[in-house]
Chains A and B, each alone.
Chain A
Amino acid sequence: GAVVSQHPSRVICKSGTSVKIECRSLDFQATTMFWYRQFPKQSLMLMATSNEGSKATYEQGVEKDKFLINHASLTLSTLTVTSAHPEDSSFYICSAPGSTDTQYFGPGTRLTVL
């Protein structure tokens, strides 16, 4: 089946620094990928839709200048959390649609901002 990977799985950074999270579709191509955020014991909240070769589409309330998304190839989307603050600490999950129109999810990246 289709596999989506994320790197890193866990990252700890200091407040004010930037962190990049990678999302890769390992055995299929994805012109679209989705980025979600999940707070502890809460549901997934869609942040943005990453589009290969064009600008990402952000959901209402998500700061595009803070959460930079780059979808440079058909198998890679990156999410950069700029000038991270403790309130950005969360679990970030990406997904990509496979050939059967099913969303495949990455394992997630836990970000902790000190």
Chain B
Amino acid sequence: QRVTQPEKLLSVFKGAPVELKCNYSYSGSPELFWYVQYSRQRLQLLLRHISRESIKGFTADLNKGETSFHLKKPFAQEEDSAMYYCALSGTGGYNKLIFGAGTRLAVHP
């Protein structure tokens, strides 16, 4: 079981599109999540693949063929600057989370 986030830092200007990459390996059907950690705040759930919803303008589609779960936003805002972690867990609920290394998103004015 592994989650890979290849970029440590992603730096963009306000209004630019954003894509934070996440690839995973898991023998089974995992649940995929994106967690966000704003400066001096605790980790919080941004979105999960089973919800298929857009949160704060972010979306993520699970691509089982490519084993990817990239996070996207068409127009970045300065308040999106944070640390983003991709994570997976086994299905069935209350399962432990395996985190990727995280990507720091910096949105410049």
Which A residues contact B (CB, under 8 angstroms)? 32, 34, 36, 42-46, 49, 93, 95, 97, 101-103, 105-108
Contacts and interface: CB of A to CB of B under 8 A. Distances in A.
Interface of B: 35, 42-45, 48, 85, 93-94, 96-102
Nearest to B41: A107
B101 A42 contact: yes
Contacts of A32: 94
B43 A105 contact: yes
Contacts of B94: 32, 97, 101
Specify the main secondary structure of chain B where it touches its partner: loop
Contact of B85 (A43, A97, A102, A107): A43
Nearest to B97: A103
18 contacts: A34-B96, A36-B99, A42-B101, A43-B99, A43-B102, A44-B99, A45-B99, A46-B96, A46-B97, A46-B99, A93-B43, A95-B43, A97-B93, A97-B94, A102-B45, A103-B97, A105-B42, A106-B42
A102 B42 CA distance: 15
